[in-house]
Amino acid sequence: MSALLERLPFFRRRPILVAKFPGRGRPKHGWPWFLAGVLLGVVALSGLYFWGTSGRTLTQPVRLDYGPASPAFAAVYGPLLGAEFTGGNSVEVLVNGVEFFPAMLSAIAGAQQTITLETYIWTSGTISDRFIAALSERARHGVKVLVLIDGMAPLEFKQADRTRLSDSGVQLRTYARHHWYDFKLNFNHRTHRKILVVDGKVGFTGGMCIDDQWLGDADSTKVWRETQVRVAGPVVREMQAVFASNWLETTSGLLLGADYFPPITARGGVLAQCIESGPGEGPENARICYLLAIASARESIDLSSAYFVPDDLSIETLLEARARGVRVRIIIPALTDSRMGRAASRSRWRRLLAAGVEFYQYLPAMDHCKVLIVDEVFVCVGSINFDNRSFSLNDEIALNTLDRSVARTHLKVFADDLQQSQRITREEFESRPFYQKLADELCGLFRSQF
């Protein structure tokens, strides 16, 4: 949708050529105007469809009279999101592909029973070849390897590479399409989850996909900045269950037995939960997850979000946090893969900047992180962006922790990113050219799709 809109003359960088009308009568070469009208009509109808398929379940203000460190927070947060906090977990923060790809490939190489992998994008290339080799090697040695990709993933995933996986014994499936001819009525609904679970004991989640854009240390504009987590302990069972729900929806089969859900003893001291969100599983869990955490804040909110396009209730919840004296810092990418998404984001900043919310643009590379830290104790990391697509349209996953040590690690990473970011002042924001303000507001009309 965004790619379609960006083809409109209004969004082009080159000057817009206006047709001349020689004298009176019909314009010369009027067919471009007719086509433009048809295109605008398609865009309008598409916008109405997308808006109609956008979830807007929660409309009442979210207010809590206790912070995330209070036992009352976990007591409410867990049941509402369908996943209780469990103790005995270990959490390792992995920054950029230089750290998380080797860790993931090493875990795959050590698999003895099962590997379950779900991803949004899989693009053929260098890192793809490494995953194919690792997964195929384990499958040939009798490990049950299940791979689930979103319906958009095959666009960049070569048929030859998919065949290599299948021929080795990997069970490769496309989300919600048991057969190639299956048609998904709500094509606006995707799985945006990123999950890797090995032997039901070790799990990974975050924002990365299998694509060479993540291959490196975010040390150039071609390599994306990302945060993943490696977890072990009882919470991995919840992560496996999230994968199992989409596997069931796609194949009509259950994952059963100790190969997928083995007994797990304590592996650390971290209190954690893993939640799922999607139109069919916990509608708006992702949105509620963020809003409850923000409503609980008493000291600080630190957010890294690749796509920050808040709805009205999210803005009000952030403004109430500022009214309580909470410091709010938000890191967004200076480099982005969606100019329309960035414009739609800017259309939502005015009241937040006026209330003292601090915005920073990460400069070195595309910042694709999805990390929320509240009061230096609660951390949410996973596939959730701060936008309607993640909050209501897509299937998402998040690992939430209540642990000051884990939070300190994430805060150190956040502080390092701040050092490489430039603050956006209210004065700079208001001094944007008129045409940019107009473009931002127009793009904001389609914010339900970002």
Please give the positions annotated as active site.
192, 194, 199, 368, 370, 375
106: three-class secondary structure by DSSP: helix
Report the alpha-carbon distance of residue 80 to residue 384 in Å, rounded: 18
Q: Measured in whole angstroms, how far is the alpha carbon of residue 250 from the centre of its chain?
A: 21
**414: CB partners within 8 A, 6+ apart:** 302, 304, 329, 331, 371, 373
Q: Measured between alpha carbons, how far is residue 160 from residues 42, 98, 146, 167, 418 in Å?
A: 35, 27, 18, 10, 42
Strand partners, 202: 198, 232
**Listed residue (396, 387, 404) closest to 348, CA to CA:** 387
Report the alpha-carbon distance of residue 251 to residue 142 in Å, rounded: 21
Question: Scanning the structure block, which residue is given the tokens 């830290």?
Answer: 373
**259: CB partners within 8 A, 6+ apart:** 113, 114, 144, 199, 200
**406: CB partners within 8 A, 6+ apart:** 91, 93, 270, 379
The string of DSSP letters for 350-403 reads HHHHHTT-EEEEE-SS-B--EEEEETTTEEEEES--BSHIIIIISBEEEEEEE-
Report the alpha-carbon distance of residue 260 to residue 288 in Å, rounded: 29
Task: Count CB neighbours of 415 within 10 A.
Answer: 10
Report the alpha-carbon distance of residue 222 to residue 267 in Å, rounded: 37
Consecutive H or E run containing 95: strand 86-95
**Geometric angle at alpha carbon 167, from 162 and 171, rounded to 5°:** 70
Are 295 and 321 in contact by the 8 Å Cβ rule? The answer is: yes
Consecutive H or E run containing 434: helix 434-444
Consecutive H or E run containing 145: strand 144-149
Label residue 147 exposed, middle or buried (CB < 10 Å: 0-12, 13-18, 19+): buried
Report the alpha-carbon distance of residue 111 to residue 143 in Å, rounded: 7
Report the alpha-carbon distance of residue 329 to residue 36 in Å, rounded: 41
